[in-house]
């Protein structure tokens, strides 16, 4: 299969945005800006900063890109975009200046291309969380960020947006909830002089501190009502474990409620984004608290050395290039204390294998109901291919994502590495 399929060319140099696409991009951004009327705050003189510089953005929804384009104005920018964003539109994204990346891989081509962007005098735009936030809070950041900042040796700005997750949560992006106004802070975080004088650890700390956000807390503080009658649908994909009976894979959601089919307990999601038990005590009113409790439960399994998905039957699609997905075949997935192991047999009877051990992954990308295909999936990549792996039966990809992070965390602790909050 590898001999006859052309792979995406990750080494191709980035382009400047074609001049004729700039007004079209601005025109396409206008409806969303009008609908959500974002309040954008500019801090530390960032409005007077001239390229080249590195721009780091948090990631909650597609609207993030529209805000980034808005604050950059006429400045030429090159965005790092995951390979599935290039499907059927590689020419367009390259013409917009986008740089392709396979998620959670160590790709030297990306570093070279980011250096080219800086040498061109452009803005290099990165979403370092590398995925949409699962519940509107900070995802882990790679500790390699500090090294990248030192290597590029340019000012660092941050764009932290609020309201994008509660408007279009990752667990249900089927419709816009009409949150208005949203907010964003565009800030000069580090000057070139600070980049040159600070060490990698201090740079990482500055970035991690700036990336602390909580969309549900923001919603409550601002008193923003979301009256959408389906506001809780899909929430069970993130909140997969019942805090009442402790069972997993029995959560379901519909309309404004989330429930456990094992014990029958129900919670309502209020218009202000909080949870309230229909009967009995409310274990977690704040959605991210429930999610972090799930993390602690997974951490206990990992630290006890007992975490395992068991052998899951899966269907696997491959994405070798921008032409689209190829059905690789059916097979098995095991995620345990050793990491991921996927074995697939294609229609010609050939066996394919992908192994991602614990040291190689500080996190992983998951999708919920991806492209309306087989349901939830976990995405694993090499430098040459990306597999979209759809487990059959009862197992949460959210738990896989949490376990990947906790396994890596334990690996680092055993190596004697000091862990900074928010970094892996």
pLDDT digits (tens, 9 = 90+) for 207-246: 999 999 999 999 999 999 999 999 999 999 999 999 999 9
Judge whether 67 lies within some domain. yes
pLDDT digits (tens, 9 = 90+) for 132-144: 999 999 999 999 9
Give the sheet arrangement for strand 275-277, strand by strand.
251-254, 257-260, 266-269, 275-277
Q: Are residues 285 and 312 in the same domain?
A: no
CATH number at residue 325: 2.30.29
Return the percentage of the chain with pLDDT > 90, whole number: 91
Dihedral of alpha carbons 120, 71, 188, 63, sign: negative
Among 211, 188, 274, CA closest to 60:
211
What's the rounded Cα separation, in Å, for the pair 419 and 402?
Answer: 16
For the chain, the average pLDDT equals 94
Instruction: Name the one residue in this structure whose structure tokens are 């307990």.
Output: 265
Q: Are residues 204 and 320 in the same domain?
A: no
Judge whether 178 lies within some domain. yes
Q: What pLDDT is recorded for position 370?
A: 85
Among 187, 233, 185, 168, CA closest to 36:
168
Give the end of a domain, one of 262, 283, 303. Answer: 303
For the record, the structure tokens of 165 come out as 């997750």
- Confidence category of residue 1, pLDDT binned at 50, 70, 90: very low
Q: What pLDDT is recorded for position 2?
A: 43
Give the end of a domain, one of 194, 222, 250. Answer: 222
Where in the sequence is the domain holding 272, given as residue range(s)? 235-303
- Cβ atoms within 10 Å of 181's Cβ, excluding its own: 14
Give the end of a domain, one of 303, 327, 357. Answer: 303
């Amino acid at each position: 299969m590898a001999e006859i399929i052309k792979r995406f060319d990750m080494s191709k140099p980035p382009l400047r945005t074609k001049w004729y696409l700039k007004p079209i991009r601005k025109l396409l951004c206008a409806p969303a800006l009008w609908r959500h009327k974002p309040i954008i705050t500019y801090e530390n003189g960032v409005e007077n900063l001239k390229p080249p510089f590195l721009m780091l953005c948090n990631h909650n929804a597609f609207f993030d890109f529209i805000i980034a384009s808005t604050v950059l104005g006429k400045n030429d920018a090159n965005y790092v975009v995951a390979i599935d964003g290039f499907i059927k539109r590689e020419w367009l994204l390259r013409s917009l200046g986008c740089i392709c990346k396979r998620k959670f891989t160590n790709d030297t081509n990306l570093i070279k291309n980011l250096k080219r962007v800086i040498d061109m005098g452009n803005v290099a735009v990165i979403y370092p969380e590398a995925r949409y936030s699962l519940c509107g809070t900070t995802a882990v950041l790679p500790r390699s960020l500090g090294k990248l900042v030192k290597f590029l040796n340019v000012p660092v700005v941050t764009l932290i947006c609020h309201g994008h997750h509660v408007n279009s949560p990752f667990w249900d992006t089927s419709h816009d909830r009409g949150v208005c106004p949203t907010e964003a802070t565009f800030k000069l975080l580090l000057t070139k002089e600070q980049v040159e004088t600070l060490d990698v650890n201090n740079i990482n700390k500055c970035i991690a501190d700036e990336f602390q956000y909580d969309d549900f807390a923001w919603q409550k503080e601002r008193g923003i009502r979301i009256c959408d009658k389906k506001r809780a649908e899909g929430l069970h994909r993130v909140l997969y474990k019942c805090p009442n009976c402790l069972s997993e894979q029995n959560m379901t959601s519909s309309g404004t409620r989330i429930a456990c089919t094992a014990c029958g307990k129900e919670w309502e999601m209020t218009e202000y984004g909080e949870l309230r038990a229909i009967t009995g005590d409310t274990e977690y009113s704040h959605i991210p608290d429930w999610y972090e409790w799930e993390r602690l439960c997974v951490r206990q399994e990992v630290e006890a050395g007992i975490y395992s998905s068991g052998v899951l039957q899966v269907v696997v699609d491959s994405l070798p290039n921008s032409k689209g997905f190829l059905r690789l075949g059916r097979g098995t997935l095991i995620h345990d204390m050793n990491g991921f192991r996927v074995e697939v047999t294609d229609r010609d009877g050939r066996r394919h294998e992908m192994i991602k051990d614990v040291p190689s992954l500080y996190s992983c990308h998951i999708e919920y109901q991806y492209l309306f295909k087989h349901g939830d999936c976990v995405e694993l990549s090499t430098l040459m291919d990306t597999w979209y792996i759809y487990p059959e039966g009862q197992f949460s990809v959210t738990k896989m994502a949490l376990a990947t992070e906790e396994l890596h965390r334990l690996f680092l602790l055993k190596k004697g590495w000091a862990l900074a909050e928010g970094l892996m």
